[in-house]
Chains A and B, each alone.
Chain A
Amino acid sequence: GAGVSQSPRYKVAKRGQDVALRCDPISGHVSLFWYQQALGQGPEFLTYFQNEAQLDKSGLPSDRFFAERPEGSVSTLKIQRTQQEDSAVYLCASSLNAGTSFEQFFGPGTRLTVL
């Protein structure tokens, strides 16, 4: 079956531009996660959805970062007024259910470069 897909795969933005990153989770997966991965580092948690409810956004670096999952399936991570320090790979992961089937399956990521 299809895995987690993300688009675009690469995004170049000028400092100050807004960007939107899309994630299509595995069909039927209740939980969805966003992570940020800097070069040479492991992924770092940003936010977590269970269905359409955003249950944890404690990892979002600033109020310029916003995530939504309005129908409990596709999710969008939006970054307003991008800064150079936002350059990273943004990974989306989904899980059947965070409480029981805990394995998270990752998409290929979106590499964001802010000039």
Chain B
Amino acid sequence: EDQVTQSPEALRLQEGESSSLNCSYTVSGLRGLFWYRQDPGKGPEFLFTLYSAGEEKEKERLKATLTKKESFLHITAPKPEDSATYLCAVGSNYKLTFGKGTLLTVNP
């Protein structure tokens, strides 16, 4: 059974204070590691897909990296508008298995 564990559950940062979110996973056959952002009352918004260990992708202040056992979402110099829940998911076939998410709060 595919499993995803995200840590920390919640993270509070000051504006400009860089940090990383962790996603550990076990999967029978990885077809992709996905990061989504979810704002309150909205559906998950797609950010990145990573397919193989060593792969990295960047978007504005976010960079996602992948190893064989975990993925990191690095947030550089965050702004208050980066506050959201960040969800990690693995795809082993067609379905996605999600973690519980990390609630990120960035204070001005």
Q: How many residues of A contact B (CB 8 A)?
A: 26
Task: Tell me, in angstroms, the Cα distance from A68 to B101 when the chains sit together.
Answer: 29
Is B42 an interface residue when CB atoms closer than 8 A count as contact? yes
A-B contact pairs, 9 of them (CB 8 A): A33-B95, A40-B100, A43-B98, A44-B98, A45-B96, A45-B97, A56-B94, A102-B32, A109-B43
Is B78 an interface residue when CB atoms closer than 8 A count as contact? no
Is A1 an interface residue when CB atoms closer than 8 A count as contact? no
Indicate if the CB atoms of A106 and B32 lie closer than 8 Å. Answer: no
B residues 33-77 in Cβ contact with A at 8 Å: 34, 36, 41-46, 49
Known: A40-B100, A102-B32, A102-B49. A91 touches B95 (CB 8 A): no
Q: What's the minimum C-beta distance from A35 to chain B, rounded to whole angstroms?
A: 8
Is A103 an interface residue when CB atoms closer than 8 A count as contact? yes
Q: Mark A12-31, 1 if CB is under 8 A from B, else 0.
A: 00000000000000000001
**In the complex, which range does the number of interface residues on chain B fall in?**
20 to 34
**Looking at B32, B43, B45, B91, which has the most chain A CB atoms within 10 Å of its CB?**
B43
Indicate if the CB atoms of B31 and A102 lie closer than 8 Å. Answer: yes
Q: What's the minimum C-beta distance from B27 to chain A, rounded to whole angstroms?
A: 14
Q: Mark B84-100, 1 if CB is under 8 A from A, else 0.
A: 00010101001111111
Instruction: List the A side residues contacting B32 at CB < 8 Å.
Output: 102
Instruction: List the B side residues contacting A105 at CB < 8 Å.
Output: 46
Q: Mark A47-78, 1 if CB is under 8 A from B, else 0.
A: 01000000110010000000000000000000
A residues 90-115 in Cβ contact with B at 8 Å: 91, 93, 98-99, 102-109
Indicate if the CB atoms of B98 and A56 lie closer than 8 Å. Answer: no
Task: Tell me, in angstroms, the Cα distance from A35 to B89 when the chains sit together.
Answer: 13
Task: Tell me, in angstroms, the Cα distance from A42 to B35 when the chains sit together.
Answer: 12
Indicate if the CB atoms of B94 and A106 lie closer than 8 Å. Answer: no
Give which listed residue, A41, A91, A99, A102, contacts B44 with CB less than 8 A. A91
Give which listed residue, B41, B42, B46, B99, contacts A104 with CB less than 8 A. B46
